Amino acid sequence: EKRRKLNNLLKYSEVYKDTILINKEISVKEKIHIPAGYKVIVKPGTNILFENNGQIISESPFIAIGTKKDSIHFRAKTKGNNNKGILFLNTKGSIFKYVKFKGLRNYNDEFRTLPGSICFYESTVSFSNTTFDTNFGGDDLLNIVRSQFNITSSELLNSKADALDSDFSYGNIKNTTFKNIGNDAIDVSGTTLYISDIMISDVQDKGISVGEDSHITGKNIIINNSSIALTSKDLSTLNLDRVEVNNCDVVFTVFQKKSEYGPASINCQNVTYKNYKEEYLVQMDNTLFINSTESKVKVKDVE
């Protein structure tokens, strides 16, 4: 039964008991379902090319470790084709290093339609030296739900909407760049996240958006050319140290949007900002501290 589910993958890979080895170019033309019980090893230099209707759903972890000179590619075979993305479901211990994802659409099949082109649900995953570039359809470049994740020395570029959308998860992001984002660069709900050495630029909506009882702690953050730099809402906290904000319409917004939650807060130390239209918008009962000084100006309806 397991081998039946692997169908087209078998002719491009070698299967050894509980290990699937991919070391040659694959053309993904339809749905490939990898059941639980395997470990999928992708060798350096491998190209996994998605054609129309091509998609992968994996219930087994991927170990995709390339090198600086010989990276691994998961990408659309032709620009803008109608592929259907990647979903990792209940996988533990996936590792992606020196990997490039490009040109994928949001995952969808006969059972589910998801917002992200690369989705992780109830999984653990680690990315380093990984590039997520350009998504078509759906919203998010990378969508993570009820999962634990680490992102280090990576890039999220040219997203149609949110670059990273994390729900009910726990994560760490370090030394990572977000650029040319159609909605939010980092958007979290119900998530605890630690961030450091982050560069965010050219964002249509919010650089960092913390919502629905989420908590972000971080340091060494630069945000350039964003509509709103920093937002905390609905019982969330955003605590940052050493922050630089340039050329944003609004630097801080703090408010409650949903009645079932409560007030939110932002506390930024060693923060500088210039070339903005509005310094901050703080709703009544919500809290903003800038360099240890609390904002006293509050309005009724920030949203």
Residue 77: exposed, middle, or buried by beta-carbon count in 10 A (0-12, 13-18, 19+)?
middle
Asked if residue 233 has pLDDT above 60, the reply is yes
- Nearest in space to 162 (alpha carbons), one of 123, 111, 212, 200: 200
DSSP code at position 37: T
- What local confidence, expressed as pLDDT, does residue 82 receive? 84
Rounded mean pLDDT of 242-254? 97
Asked if residue 11 has pLDDT above 70, the reply is no
- Nearest in space to 117 (alpha carbons), one of 96, 144, 152: 144
Residue showing tokens 């709103």? 228
Dihedral angle, C-alpha 138, 140, 141, 142, nearest 10 °: -120
User: How do residues 28-85 score in pLDDT, each as one tens digit?
Assistant: 988 888 889 899 999 999 999 999 889 999 999 999 999 999 999 999 988 778 889 9
- What local confidence, expressed as pLDDT, does residue 299 receive? 83
User: How do residues 156-188 score in pLDDT, each as one tens digit?
Assistant: 999 999 999 999 999 999 999 999 999 999 999
Residue 100 CA to chain centroid, in angstroms?
14
- What local confidence, expressed as pLDDT, does residue 60 receive? 95
293 band by pLDDT with thresholds 50, 70 and 90: very high
- What local confidence, expressed as pLDDT, does residue 9 receive? 61
141 band by pLDDT with thresholds 50, 70 and 90: very high
Do 279 and 253 form a contact (C-beta atoms < 8 A)? Answer: no
- What local confidence, expressed as pLDDT, does residue 111 receive? 87
- Single-letter amino acid code for the residue at 251: V
Question: pTM of the prediction?
Answer: 0.93
**Segment among 69-83, 94-108, 261-275 with least mean pLDDT:** 69-83
Please enumerate in sequence order all residues whose Cβ is within 8 A of that of 41, keeping only pairs 6 or more positions apart, or say none: 19, 20, 21, 22, 62, 63, 64
Rounded mean pLDDT of 110-137? 94
Q: Of all residues in the chain, what percent carry a pLDDT higher than 90?
A: 77
- What local confidence, expressed as pLDDT, does residue 12 receive? 55
Rounded mean pLDDT of 134-152? 94
Rounded mean pLDDT of 128-138? 92
Residue showing tokens 């709900």? 189
Residue 123 CA to chain centroid, in angstroms?
14
Distance CA 81, CA 72 (A): 20
Q: Count CB neighbours of 152 within 10 A.
A: 17
Average pLDDT over the chain reads 92
249 band by pLDDT with thresholds 50, 70 and 90: very high
- What local confidence, expressed as pLDDT, does residue 139 receive? 87
Do 236 and 215 form a contact (C-beta atoms < 8 A)? Answer: yes
- Strands 287-290 and 293-294: what pairing? antiparallel
| Residue 280, both tokens | 């901050």
Q: Of all residues in the chain, what percent carry a pLDDT higher than 70?
A: 95
- What local confidence, expressed as pLDDT, does residue 1 receive? 56
- What local confidence, expressed as pLDDT, does residue 195 receive? 98
- What local confidence, expressed as pLDDT, does residue 281 receive? 94
Distance CA 41, CA 38 (A): 10
| Residue 152, both tokens | 């280090």
**Segment among 22-36, 212-226, 241-255 with least mean pLDDT:** 22-36
Q: Which residue has the higher pLDDT, 12 or 180?
A: 180
Please enumerate in sequence order all residues whose Cβ is within 8 A of that of 114, keeping only pairs 6 or more positions apart, or say none: 85, 87, 106, 107, 108, 138, 143
